Chain A
Amino acid sequence: MKRTHWILIAAAAVVVAIAAVAVHMMMAPPDDLDMARSKLSEQKFYLATVAPEQEPLRQGELHAWVLTLATPDNKPVEGATIAVDGGMPQHGHGLPTSPQMTSYLGEGRYRIEGVKFNMAGWWELKFAISAPPGDDRVTFNLVL
């Protein structure tokens, strides 16, 4: 009987340890993640909207996005320079590719080519925008 108790206690300790590790490692994205595809940039210079050219997003495939920039009073922003960055905050790594703004499509719309998400999980897509209203940044969250 005594021996059984001992085994039970030891085994229970192992169970707790394993459960703790499991919770720690299986990184689910935070529940309150802002998934908006349209938002004001950090300094509120721009109203930025993103949309992938094709949905649903497919893991591992190179694809393009359209970033639409307007002023907060909804006038299209022309002639912007855009740098693209991003990554997986929970894995500490960046994007697997280096996407670029490749063409201006008119009406504040910019084509961003070369985007790829090679893993499932929470991704950030960040844009550094430089145009007459000022330099600003905006970050979008995606979950694959």
Chain B
Amino acid sequence: MRAASTRFRLGAFVAVSMLVTGCQPTEFSDAEKQTIASLALSALPPLPDDPTNKVANDPAAAALGATLFFDTRMSANGAVSCSTCHLIDRQFQDDLPLAKGIGTTNRRTMPLAGVAWSPWFFWDGRRDSLWAQALVPMENPVEHGGNRAAFAHFIAANFHDRYERIFGPLPDLSGVPANAGPLGDAAEKAAWDTMTDAQRGDVDRIFSNIGKMIATFERSIAPKETRFDRFAAALAAGKEPQGDAAFSNEEMLGLKLFIGKANCVTCHNGARFTDNHFHNTGVPVVAGLPEDLGRETAVKEVAADPFNCLGKFSDAGPAACGELRFMVTAGEALTRAYKTPSLRGAADRPPYMHAGQIETLEAVLDHYATAPAAPSGTSEVHPVTLSERERGALIAFLRALSG
């Protein structure tokens, strides 16, 4: 009798406390339902056009781009391709804190699902198109370690006809040195300086076209439907989620926190769980790596990039370059600001952050709960009290964004 009444009182208490804390699992307000719908894959806009890349929707370009993406001959040592770090069966990333090509990079490999929806590329957004991005690892000494003259010769020697069917006649490269480029080692730079403007223009044109073909392939890497999307679809339709679309109470609480008290959705918003913008979230520096100021350095680099939207290798006019023309170029908010990563699939690919600073999701939540001061600049994150149960719930929700 006594036990029964205690149980009853506890039960009543749990019900009341859920009401008070707003945690009662099955209830979402209309505003919350709207937010949930905005995160679902069904809210993803159609693949954006890329007017800077005239072959962006050409299947032949995508096919050759895919070949190049996986071709290790595209490197100084014959052992590195894009797929060395962007592994197709690992969400196009490598599970490492810092990537390994010919050497070791200063940042973590980014997964590629849905990358074509992004206006800026790299953790700091130092490139403004997918094709201009692809050119960077090719010439980075610790990634592919190549040079643009060698890449142009490689295409002419191995993919002559396929290239010409996409872009028209290849120029005569007979007078172009085997190895040359403005960013290479001393010998490659010297060789680049001996070339005529026309030769440099020819090489840069082929080089940028390699980027365009790879970008066209990358446009096909779309985010996949997850359990969360099936749950959200049922919720939007006013139906009881069935099978694996049904969320546990813990997952519901996690979702509620994500879009509410924990404030995650301010930055991780939209169907890709990113606002495509740059934030200082107080992530620590990695000892031994060169100073990294994030967006602050990147805005200067992208403005000066000859392959940017306003440059002569872009197939679009300035009207298509709004992101670049109206980008914020100064101010403290840029210091150590990094692109908000998508959280789709994140639970399956530790470590986290731009240099793999945080090893687990548990530690990510500790980071957001304590909101440490930024090493430089100011963190935008405000500390939030999260109980063990709430942390567990947020993690359970993040897991529902995988598979």
Interface residues of A (CB under 8 A from B): 1, 4, 7-8, 11-12, 14-15, 17-19, 21-22, 25-26, 59-60, 62, 91-100, 113-114, 116, 118-121
Contacts and interface: CB of A to CB of B under 8 A. Distances in A.
Contacts of A25: 260-263, 382, 384
B13 A98 contact: no
A114 B260 contact: no
Contact of B260 (A4, A17, A22, A93): A22
A99 B2 contact: no
Contact of A118 (B277, B329, B385): B277
A18 B21 contact: yes
Q: What are the nearest 10 A-B pairs in CB distance?
A: A114-B326, A118-B275, A97-B326, A62-B322, A15-B17, A118-B277, A22-B261, A98-B328, A96-B277, A18-B21
A91 B266 CA distance: 10
9 contacts: A1-B6, A7-B10, A19-B22, A91-B380, A92-B380, A97-B323, A97-B327, A100-B325, A121-B266
B269 A97 contact: no
A11 B262 CA distance: 21
B380 A118 contact: no
B20 interface: yes
A98 B275 contact: no
A118 B92 CA distance: 26
A93 B380 contact: yes
Contacts of B290: none
Chain B contact residues, majority secondary structure:
loop
Contacts of A22: 21-22, 260-261
B20 A15 contact: yes
A118 B276 contact: yes
B149 to A, nearest CB: 37
Given A113-B326, A119-B275, 20 more contacts: A12-B13, A15-B20, A19-B20, A25-B382, A25-B384, A59-B270, A60-B269, A60-B276, A62-B326, A96-B275, A96-B328, A98-B326, A98-B327, A99-B326, A114-B325, A116-B326, A118-B269, A118-B276, A120-B266, A121-B266
Interface of B: 2, 6, 9-10, 13, 17, 20-22, 35, 38, 260-263, 265-267, 269-270, 275-277, 322-323, 325-329, 331, 333, 380, 382, 384-385, 387
Contacts of B382: 25
Contacts of B260: 22, 25-26
A59 B269 CA distance: 9
B43 to A, nearest CB: 10
B13 A11 contact: yes
A62 B327 CA distance: 11
A15 B267 contact: no
Given A26-B260, A60-B276, A11 B331 contact: no
A113 B325 CA distance: 10
B333 A94 contact: yes
Given A118-B275, A120-B35, A21 B384 contact: yes
B17 A21 contact: no
B316 to A, nearest CB: 14
A100 B21 CA distance: 44
Contacts of A15: 17, 20-21
Contacts of B20: 15, 19
B266 A60 contact: no
Contacts of A98: 326-329
Nearest to A118: B275
Contacts of A114: 322, 325-326
Contacts of A11: 13, 17
A26 B261 contact: yes
A4 B266 contact: no
User: Which of A14, A59, A94, A98 is most buried by chain B, counting CB atoms within 10 A of its CB?
Assistant: A98
A59 B327 CA distance: 17
B332 to A, nearest CB: 10
Contacts of B38: 59
B327 A4 contact: no
B349 to A, nearest CB: 24
A95 B275 CA distance: 13
Contact of A97 (B6, B328, B380): B328
Contacts of B325: 100, 113-114
A87 B38 CA distance: 22
B290 to A, nearest CB: 27
Contact of A93 (B2, B276, B322, B333): B333
B329 A19 contact: no
A137 to B, nearest CB: 19
Contacts of B13: 8, 11-12
B331 to A, nearest CB: 7
B295 to A, nearest CB: 11
Contacts of A21: 261, 384-385
Nearest to B22: A22
A25 to B, nearest CB: 5
